[in-house]
Structure 1
Amino acid sequence: MLRVAERLFLFDVDNTLLDNDRFAEDLRARLTRDFGVAGCERYWAIYERLRKERGVADYIDALQEFGITLEGEPTLLGLSSFLLDYPFAERVYPGALATLAEMRERGHVAILSDGDLVFQPRKIQRSGLWDAVDGAVMIDRHKELSLDAMQKRHPALHYVMVDDKPHILAAMKRVLGARLTTVFVRQGHYAAQSDLAAIDPAPDRIIAKISDLTHLDWNDSVAASSPSTTETA
């Protein structure tokens, strides 16, 4: 029987613990170098279509479809290696690993990420984040819809979700209510484009960067889940 934790900190990955925007920039540069501007734009058009159809980013399937008309092209294999061997450890945000370590002293920690079941685990493993949470990793196409499975795997009296997408935080809050404290971290392009005035319920906490999480007071889970929104500079 699983032990019920008093508090569990859940972390998104892309643009929360890891600079995925920088990875996307590097991928765009590689595509442009090897396939030209037109080829780069064709790859991203495929990627965006698949993301809209499936509701999840899938770089590998986008590459598979992109390569259909490029069979025999040697640079295509190089692009595959670029994706699978990308140095994600270099894209972990400053202070992210130290933040995970400190949160482990204040409760249990786990990763709850959106993504496909091939590239996303590879990313989390190569970044060092997998080991940082001792393999406590869940990946789902829509994590806000997998809360029942999450609670079965990680039973806790109180949850804290840290994410760069406030609409996902709001969806989770509507399900878990006062048992969940939501923390919006303003990192990456999704965060920059978010209109908080349109988010209901609003995040419980707002921080500028992931390392700011350690500056918040987590001594009282009830106080931490109060409806008033606070923001760190």
Structure 2
Amino acid sequence: MSAPEDVVFLFDCDNTLLDNDHVVADLRAHLTEQFGAACSDRYWEIFETLRSELGYADYLGALQRYRVEHKSDSRLLLMSSFLIDYPFASRLYAGAIDALARLRALGPTVILSDGDVVFQPRKIKQSGLWDAVEGRVLIYIHKELMLDEVAQQYPARRYVMVDDKLRILAAMKRIWQERLTTVFPRQGHYAMDTANIAQYAPADVTIEHIGELASMDLGAIAG
């Protein structure tokens, strides 16, 4: 095992570096246009059911289940292309790549995400994020339960986690405690859900958008 870094910076993907709400809105509009509102609504019902079963968003898995109910609809064959060929690079938040580059000067940057093993890596690769972190990408079902493996893969004395979900930040803080600095970018629908975020303690650092990390004083984050 390599010697531990002084600090490793961990970044969520969806609604932290990449505007996934915008991706979902585009998919919803495309489904409605191609299949009608009723079929679109049914897809999202299946999607939410599958997410409750798996613990992560599985867009292609939901499409497979939808297909079982619509075996003769050949238009479904084009839906996977919409997802796989989506221009994810155009949905990166302003300053996301600059933030990764600036923090990389202080320690390794790692994408730590939840998701499936096909679509999520594709999203990270096609958006340019994979290359921006030089291939340091970890994708789990429940990343907050995998901190021992994270520490084994990227040993460090301290960690910084940047995530739009206070629930994830709070869960990781309970385990790593003072070893972890949590950063909460107020982006996306989870971060704007006041009832939800009221259930958790504030993050160590709160920012309004990810691009702030490219220019702000990093003393509170990097120590």
Alignment partner, residue 199 of structure 2? 198
Q: How much does 1:115 deviate?
A: 0.8
What's the TM-score once normalised by structure 1's chain length? 0.91
Please tell me whether residue 105 in structure 1 is matched to residue 105 in structure 2: yes
Q: How much does 1:220 deviate?
A: 6.8
Alignment partner, residue 122 of structure 1? 122
Q: Distance in 2 between matches of 1:221 and 1:44?
A: 38
Change (3 A) 1:197 1:100: same
Q: Distance in 2 between matches of 1:215 and 1:207?
A: 12
Q: Distance in 2 between matches of 1:218 and 1:2?
A: 26
1:158–1:221 CA contact under 8 A, matched in 2: no
The structure whose RCO (Cα within 8 Å, separation 6+) is larger is: 2
Q: How much does 1:194 deviate?
A: 4.0
1:114–1:140 CA contact under 8 A, matched in 2: yes
Alignment partner, residue 89 of structure 1? 89
2:98–2:214 CA contact under 8 A, matched in 1: no
- SS of 1:206 mapped into structure 2: strand
Return 5+ residue gaps in structure 1 as ranges.
225-233
Q: Distance in 2 between matches of 1:204 and 1:53?
A: 31
Identity %: 54
1:106–1:218 CA contact under 8 A, matched in 2: no
Return 5+ residue gaps in structure 2 as ranges.
none
Please tell me whether residue 214 in structure 1 is matched to residue 214 in structure 2: yes
Q: Distance in 2 between matches of 1:36 and 1:110?
A: 40
Worse-superposed segment, 127-136 or 66-75: 66-75
Q: Distance in 2 between matches of 1:150 and 1:75?
A: 41
What's the TM-score once normalised by structure 2's chain length? 0.95
Q: Distance in 2 between matches of 1:17 and 1:220?
A: 20
Worse-superposed segment, 204-213 or 73-82: 73-82
CA offset digits 1:14-35 (Å, max 9, x no partner): 0000000000000001110111
Find runs of 4+ consecutive structure 1 residues off by over 6 angstroms.
none
Q: Distance in 2 between matches of 1:93 and 1:204?
A: 22
Alignment partner, residue 172 of structure 1? 172
RMSD: 1.4
Q: How much does 1:197 deviate?
A: 3.4
1:160–1:181 CA contact under 8 A, matched in 2: yes
Alignment partner, residue 11 of structure 1? 11
In the comparison of the two structures, how many residue pairs are matched? 222
